[in-house]
């Protein structure tokens, strides 16, 4: 590289990046990363994942040009903890962010800090939701807390400013503005975090009437009445209809409807607004992809589309997330990186949100710090999964019976075929506990015979041997990640 084009500082910067890149595959530069994360976007509302209820042509462009992960799972399915796990590469019990009420310690190491040290310029735009202000970013412009959809306030490097417009469009505007003015000599790591499609599912005015006059297909288990499930699961308050308010459906709930009839009615209002919000997310993913194409950046940029967790879209009659059930546990994860990842591929390996940071660091030629518990899945993305890749995963939700949805705290193990969940009730002094104890309960599901998780097999004598095996595996994983049994 001819040094005459660079001043000394730039030269050292380039050499630092080159040294870091030396750890990467030969001949590959440090790639840019554009990481787009929605909030509560379930994979079954993405065409590339087989959605029956909407179309996402722009998100699908990433799937067509790259790889779709079919078994990407969250380690604690709720906003703040998942965001902390993604950044730090650590489970909640290691990074200290167990519940919606916990803050990310600004001094804690995370992926953006590591990449900044390796020569990247870093930006965080949109929903942060980790209580403390971001650290490790050259630029940050975030929503305060949850933020709002219409004319939102943003905190730009500490300064509050109200903007006119729709949140999803604005977050994309700010991302594009930053990309346009960035230092083009350095690789970038840009986090574009949407608020959408989080509750209260307020659509952009231009999409207020999208789906009017249509009937959105119902999930086959919309009228689940939880027979055989853990009693604490049957009691959770996230039923479409009965556990909604007038903000959710944008009108008073009809007094003459109850139970299944109310569920049927509310589902259409709920799902249409949810999908309208996604329509704006998809449009704005298209704007970012078009920018990368127009600037000739697509080839050198890893672009990811994901969500902080999944969501129940009327599945089991529910909205929201938190539970270890599939629709909540599964994160959509699509990634395109031309040249390294073959277009239109699919991986069914078990990948976790704590693996994201090590994967980005791997591509940047940075060694994963010892405290990160995740593992790079770069090889998996590129079609040659390590033979010793994990075949089971550990999950833990800590926010016991919090007053909004009354979901019990639980932990569990998921393998490719089975899932064992333990709702442990309330031990003394448990983080997030604010209600009386509940009786410990178990659930077992066969994901191949019963992918919709309708039949709890835990008490079936035929499954005794499997229960023992999975209970041991759960204990092994818990020990491996250094968590403490309840
Ligand atoms: Ca979320």
For residue 14, pLDDT beyond 60: no
Give me ligand 1 centre to Cα 195, in Å.
8
Q: How many domains does the chain have?
A: 1
Give 439's pLDDT tier (boundaries 50, 70, 90): confident
Structure token digits, residue 213? 């006059």
Q: What is the mean pLDDT of residues 49-77?
A: 98
Give me ligand 1 centre to Cα 198, in Å.
7
Q: Is residue 226 part of a domain?
A: no
Residue-level pLDDT at 433: 46
Q: Is residue 480 part of a domain?
A: no
Give me ligand 1 centre to Cα 410, in Å.
18
Residue-level pLDDT at 438: 62
Q: Is residue 52 part of a domain?
A: yes
From CA 253, how far away is CA 246, in angstroms rounded? 6
Q: Is residue 416 part of a domain?
A: no
Give me ligand 1 centre to Cα 404, in Å.
15
Q: Is residue 56 part of a domain?
A: yes
Give me ligand 1 centre to Cα 321, in Å.
8
Give me ligand 1 centre to Cα 74, in Å.
11
Give me ligand 1 centre to Cα 39, in Å.
4
Give me ligand 1 centre to Cα 384, in Å.
31
Torsions phi, psi of 442, nearest 5? -125, 150
Give me ligand 1 centre to Cα 11, in Å.
42
Q: For 102-118, write each residue's pLDDT tens digit.
A: 999 999 999 999 999 99
Give me ligand 1 centre to Cα 387, in Å.
32
For residue 163, pLDDT beyond 90: yes
Give me ligand 1 centre to Cα 417, in Å.
26
Residue-level pLDDT at 67: 98
Give me ligand 1 centre to Cα 80, in Å.
7
Give me ligand 1 centre to Cα 4, in Å.
49
Going edge to edge, which strands form the sheet with 67-69?
159-162, 153-156, 139-143, 121-127, 188-193, 32-38, 301-307, 333-336, 67-69, 345-347
Average pLDDT along the chain: 93
CATH number at residue 47: 3.40.720.10
Give me ligand 1 centre to Cα 397, in Å.
14
Residue-level pLDDT at 19: 46
Give 425's pLDDT tier (boundaries 50, 70, 90): confident
Q: Going by DSSP bridges, is the β-strand pair 67-69/333-336 parallel, antiparallel, or unpaired? A: antiparallel
Give me ligand 1 centre to Cα 40, in Å.
4
SS3 346: strand
Give me ligand 1 centre to Cα 31, in Å.
27
Give me ligand 1 centre to Cα 131, in Å.
15
Q: Is residue 132 part of a domain?
A: yes
Residue-level pLDDT at 415: 98
Q: Is residue 35 part of a domain?
A: yes
Give me ligand 1 centre to Cα 371, in Å.
25
Give 400's pLDDT tier (boundaries 50, 70, 90): confident
Give me ligand 1 centre to Cα 344, in Å.
27
Residue-level pLDDT at 427: 53
Residue-level pLDDT at 256: 97
Residue-level pLDDT at 474: 98
Give me ligand 1 centre to Cα 182, in Å.
29
Give me ligand 1 centre to Cα 139, in Å.
23
Give me ligand 1 centre to Cα 5, in Å.
46
Query: Can you give the length of the chain in residues?
Result: 486
Determine the structural domain holding residue 74 and report its residue range: 30-205+266-385
From CA 179, how far away is CA 163, in angstroms rounded? 19
Q: For 276-318, write each residue's pLDDT tens digit.
A: 999 999 999 999 999 999 999 999 999 999 999 999 999 999 9
Residue-level pLDDT at 105: 98
Q: Which of 341, 222, 326, 339 is closest to 271 using CA atoms?
A: 222
Q: Is residue 168 part of a domain?
A: yes
For residue 26, pLDDT beyond 90: no
Give me ligand 1 centre to Cα 186, in Å.
31
Compute CA distances 136 → 77, 115, 291, whole Å: 25, 9, 25
Give me ligand 1 centre to Cα 119, in Å.
30
Give me ligand 1 centre to Cα 77, in Å.
8
Give me ligand 1 centre to Cα 197, in Å.
9
Q: What is the pTM of this model?
A: 0.93
Give me ligand 1 centre to Cα 120, in Å.
27
Give me ligand 1 centre to Cα 442, in Å.
26
Residue-level pLDDT at 23: 45
Give 77's pLDDT tier (boundaries 50, 70, 90): very high
Give me ligand 1 centre to Cα 260, in Å.
27
Residue-level pLDDT at 95: 98
Give me ligand 1 centre to Cα 407, in Å.
15
For residue 9, pLDDT beyond 70: no
Give me ligand 1 centre to Cα 315, in Å.
17
Give me ligand 1 centre to Cα 374, in Å.
20
Residue-level pLDDT at 16: 46
For residue 20, pLDDT beyond 50: no
Residue-level pLDDT at 403: 73
SS3 236: coil
Residue-level pLDDT at 10: 44
For residue 431, pLDDT beyond 80: no
From CA 37, how far away is CA 55, in angstroms rounded? 18
Q: What is the CA radius of gyration of the chain?
A: 22
Q: What is the mean pLDDT of residues 184-211?
A: 98
């Amino acid at each position: 590289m001819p040094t005459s084009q660079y001043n000394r500082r730039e030269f050292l910067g380039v050499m630092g990046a080159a040294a870091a890149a030396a750890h990467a595959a030969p001949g590959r530069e440090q790639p840019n990363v554009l990481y787009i994360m929605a909030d509560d976007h379930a994979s079954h509302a993405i065409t590339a994942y087989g959605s029956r209820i909407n179309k996402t042509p722009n998100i699908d462009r990433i799937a067509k040009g790259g790889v779709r992960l079919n078994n990407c799972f969250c380690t604690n399915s709720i906003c703040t903890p998942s965001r902390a796990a993604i950044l730090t590469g650590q489970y909640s019990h290691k990074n200290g962010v167990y519940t919606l009420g916990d803050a990310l310690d600004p001094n804690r190491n995370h992926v953006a800090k590591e990449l900044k040290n390796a020569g990247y310029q870093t930006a965080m735009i949109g929903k942060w939701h980790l209580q403390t202000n971001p650290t490790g970013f050259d630029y940050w412009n975030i929503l305060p807390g949850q933020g709002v959809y219409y004319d939102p306030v943003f905190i730009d490097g500490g300064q509050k400013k109200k903007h006119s417009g729709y949140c999803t469009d604005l977050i994309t505007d700010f991302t594009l503005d930053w990309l346009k003015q960035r230092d083009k000599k350095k690789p970038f790591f840009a986090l574009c975090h949407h608020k959408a499609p989080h509750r209260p599912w307020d659509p952009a005015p231009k999409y207020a009437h999208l789906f009017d006059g249509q009937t959105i297909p119902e999930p086959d288990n919309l009228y689940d009445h939880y027979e055989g499930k853990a009693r604490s699961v049957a009691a959770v308050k996230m039923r479409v209809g009965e556990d909604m308010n007038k903000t959710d459906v944008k009108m008073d709930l009809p007094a003459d409807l109850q139970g299944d009839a109310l569920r049927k009615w509310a589902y259409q209002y709920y799902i249409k607004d949810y999908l309208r919000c996604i329509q704006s997310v998809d449009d704005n993913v298209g704007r970012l992809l078009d920018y990368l194409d127009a600037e000739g950046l697509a080839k050198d940029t890893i672009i990811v589309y994901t969500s902080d967790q999944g969501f129940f879209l009327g599945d089991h009659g529910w909205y929201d997330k938190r539970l270890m059930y599939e629709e909540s546990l599964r994160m959509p994860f699509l990634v395109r990186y031309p040249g390294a990842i073959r277009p239109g591929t699919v991986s069914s390996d078990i990948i976790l949100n704590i693996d994201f940071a090590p994967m980005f660091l791997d591509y940047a030629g940075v060694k994963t710090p010892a405290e990160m518990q995740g593992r790079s899945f770069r090889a998996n993305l590129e079609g040659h999964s390590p033979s010793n890749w994990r075949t089971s995963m550990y999950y833990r939700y800590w926010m016991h019976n919090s007053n909004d949805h009354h979901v019990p705290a639980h932990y569990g193990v998921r393998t490719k075929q089975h899932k064992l969940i333990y709702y442990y009730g309330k031990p003394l002094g448990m983080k997030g506990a604010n209600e009386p104890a509940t009786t410990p309960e178990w659930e077992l599901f066969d994901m191949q015979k019963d992918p919709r998780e309708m039949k709890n097999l835990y008490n079936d004598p035929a499954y005794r041997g499997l229960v023992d095996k999975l209970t041991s595996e759960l204990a092994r994983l818990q020990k491996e990640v250094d968590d403490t049994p309840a």
